[in-house]
Amino acid sequence: MLLFLVICPIAAAILIIVGAPARFTALVAAILNFIVGIALFSEFDRSTAGFQFVRSFTVSTDWRIHFAFGVDGLSLLMVLLAAIVTVSAIWFADKIDDYERAFYACLLFISAGAIGAFASIDLFFFYAFHELALIPTFLLIGIWGTGSRVRAAWKITIYLSLGSFILLIGLILLYQSLPPPERTFDIRELLQASVVHPIAVPDQRHIYLLLLIGFGVLISLFPFHSWAPDAYASAPAPAAMLHAGVLKKFGLYGFLRLVIPMLPDGAHYWTELLVILLLGNIIYIGLVTIAQKQLDWMLGYSSVMHMGYIFLGIASANVLGSTGAATLMFAHGLSIALLFGIAGQVRNRTGTLSFEDLGGLAKSMPFAGLAFGFAAFAAIGLPGFANFASEIMIFFGAFRHGWEMQRFHLFQIATVLALWGVVISTVYMLRAYRSTFMGTMPKRWAKLIDLGAGLRIPVALLVAGLMCVGFFPQTVVNIITPAIRTYFTTTK
């Protein structure tokens, strides 16, 4: 099933390029991947922490490189997120006037790259699949974007290329830091080798810093964040849904998969730096988000802000906080995808996303207003949605930080400050909801057409995912915790 999840979108993209009906082929491939993803989730053994559904093919015996796939609870959740957002993004794609085949092929290649990166258990392909997804991202923004799309495309390309290069150096040093007999690209063996032969503490500090910067650029960690709002505001809605909802989680996933278990001393050494940076995401970017006057820019900065919460959970150094971080990765992916999808539909119908020009759209687009309201409430952490359950775990996990024993320490201060971020996000999100869908409606929007029956399917899918995990968080917590628990010697 894992091989199918990776190969299906690539095969569909090739079929589209050679002449198959673009939208139909892309949608069929996405639906098939969604069905297989649900089947994978249902058949997963939640009682074990190891990788399951493993398939491996040797690429290089000398270098010990294998085309290998497998999932544990953490990677399974990310694969399922990619499958859900992919089918929703393709469904939200409107009629494309120029280069329609290339547009849908690019969306499928981003999906394949994300799924391949999450499912790879070989370090080489873990990195390579992510790079595969960056090229179509550049094309989607540069060709089909809006506003200063060319500038935004080059900006995201330069930033992410530099981040990927720094990440590559860090991964090479991570590989070389182990004794020669233990060196392998198999992530499972790397994790085991780092336990048997711990990496020297000075090496951990250097490698951790490189990986923090490399992954941080890809994640839009403060102060490496400026590419993200510009890119998402200029990107077509399906591209923003896939990148902000799925592909940006690659860096967070890599942090949980490699950095935390293999470089614990490095993480401990740089913990104060990480806390300062993540508070920059939450507080500073949150205040910048309030100041935005366009819906697309507000959503872009909002996505950057919420990365701070996930980093807070990752930095907590305990099972509860890290599990909350993984759950929030899933929840944020669904909520931000829905927000960008609705924003794209509003822009297509009105030609603007300026708060000054909008208002009262719920009168002519009631279903869109309802859907945006659900997504907004999820984003601010309203109880009943997945974001609330995950943020609660992060806050409690961070408050009881895994390394500190003092009565009141850095992470407890950071948690208190991060709680103010919830207030900030409530202000800007409800303001955006009011400015777009509530209040007096300008006469020129009186005849706007609401979302049709077809678009209500992906909206229902995303909202259902948010509410199912919100009301029953154990459905994902039970599959994540066994994988996370192996990273820590004691359960905090």
What pLDDT score was predicted for residue 118? Answer: 92
Alpha carbon distance 337, 324 (integer Å): 20
Q: Running DSSP on this structure, what letter comes out for residue 54?
A: E
User: What is residue 451's predicted lDDT score, i.e. its pLDDT?
Assistant: 85
Q: State the pLDDT at residue 402.
A: 54
Q: Six-digit token pair at 400? A: 């009881």
CA angle (465, 456, 133) in 5-degree steps: 60
- Separation between Cα atoms, residue 120 and residue 439, nearest integer Å: 49
At a CB cut-off of 8 Å and minimum separation 6, what does 460 contact? none
At residue 331 the predicted structure's pLDDT band, cuts being 50, 70 and 90, is very high
Location of structure tokens 């892309």: 26
β-partners of residue 57 are: 67
3-state secondary structure at position 212? helix
Structure token pair of residue 487: 């990273």
One domain, residues 174 and 68: yes
Contact call for residues 314 and 393 (beta carbons, < 8 A)? no
For 368-408, write each residue's pLDDT tens digit. Answer: 999 999 999 999 988 989 999 999 999 988 887 755 555 56
Q: What stretch of H or E contains 202?
A: helix 201-219
Enclosing domain of residue 165: 1-262
The answer on 399 and 288 residing in a single domain is yes
In this structure, are 11 and 82 located in the same domain? yes
Q: Counting Cβ atoms within 10 Å, is residue 12 exposed (0-12), middle (13-18) or buried (19+)?
A: buried
* Beta carbons of 374 and 492 less than 8 angstroms apart: no
The owner of tokens 């993480």 is 267
DSSP type of residue 44: -
Residue 174 neighbours by CB under 8 Å, 6+ apart: 190, 199, 207, 211, 258, 262, 263
* 252 and 316 together in one domain: no
What pLDDT is stored for residue 400 in this prediction? 79
Question: What single string gives the DSSP state of each residue in 26-60?
Answer: HHHHHHHHHHHHHHHHHH--TT--S-EEEEEEEEE
The residue behind tokens 């790079």 is 131
Place of tokens 């290329």: 161
Look up residue 66 and give its amino acid: H
Q: Which residue has the tokens 């806050």?
A: 395
Same domain, 478 and 354: yes
Which pLDDT score is estimated for 448? 84
- Tens of pLDDT, residue by residue over 30-57, are 999 999 999 999 888 887 778 888 887 8
The two tokens of residue 432 are 């955006």
Number of separate domains in the chain: 2
Nearest to 78 by CA among 332, 300, 258, 260: 332
Cα–Cα dist 350/445, whole Å: 7
247 shares a domain with 120 = yes
Measure CA 451 to chain center. 26
Gyration radius of the chain's alpha carbons = 21
Residue-wise pLDDT tens digits, 132-184: 888 899 999 988 888 788 888 898 889 999 999 999 999 999 888 888 777 78
Q: Which residues of 153-180 are buried (b: 16+ CB within 10 A; e: fewer)?
A: bebbbebbeebbebbeebbeebbebbee
Assess whether pLDDT exceeds 70 at residue 80: yes
> In this structure, are 242 and 285 located in the same domain?
no
Structure tokens at 181: 């007999």
- Per residue in 103-121, pLDDT tens? 999 999 999 999 999 999 8
Label residue 64 by pLDDT band (50, 70, 90).
low
Residues 164, 25, single domain; the answer is yes
Phi, psi (deg, nearest 5) at residue 453: -60, -35
What tokens appear for 214 in the block? 């490399």
Q: Characterize the bridge pairing of strands 52-60 and 65-71.
A: antiparallel
Residues 93, 223 within the same domain: yes
Domain edge (last residue) among 262, 279, 301? 262
- If asked whether residues 274 and 241 sit together in one domain, one would say no
pLDDT at 490 over 50: no
Domain boundary among 235, 262, 289: 262
Query: Does one domain contain both 248 and 341?
Result: no
Rounded to an integer, what distance in angstroms lies between the CA atom of residue 457 and that of residue 92?
10
CA quadruple 247, 287, 380, 260: dihedral sign: positive
Q: 85 and 163: one domain?
A: yes
CA 393 to chain centre: 18
Q: Above 60 in pLDDT, residue 491?
A: no
Percentage of the chain modeled with pLDDT above 90: 42
Query: At which of 244, 262, 280 does a domain end?
Result: 262
Report the pLDDT averaged over residues 288-292: 91
Mean pLDDT of the chain: 88
**Amino acid, res. 413:** I
pTM of the predicted protein model: 0.90
Model confidence at 462: pLDDT above 90: yes
Residue 492 pLDDT: 37
Percent of the chain's residues with pLDDT above 70: 96
